[in-house]
Amino acid sequence: MYGYDFHRQKPIDEFIVDFFCNKLQLAIELDGYSHEILEVWEKDVKKTEKLNSLGIHVLRFSDHQVMNDMENVLRHIEDYILTFEANGNTPPSIPPK
**How do 26-31 and 15-21 pair as beta strands?**
antiparallel
- Domains along the sequence of the chain with CATH: 8-86 (3.40.960.10)
Average pLDDT over residues 54-66: 93
**Residue 9: Cβ within 10 Å count:** 9
What is d(CA 56, CA 21) in angstroms, rounded to the nearest whole number?
10
Average pLDDT over residues 57-81: 94
Average pLDDT over residues 50-61: 95
What is d(CA 13, CA 20) in angstroms, rounded to the nearest whole number?
13
Which is more confident, 33 or 39? Answer: 39
pLDDT at residue 44 greater than cutoff 80: yes
Strand order of the β-sheet with 57-62 is 7-12, 15-21, 26-31, 57-62
The 10s digit of each residue's pLDDT in 11-28 is: 999 999 999 999 999 999
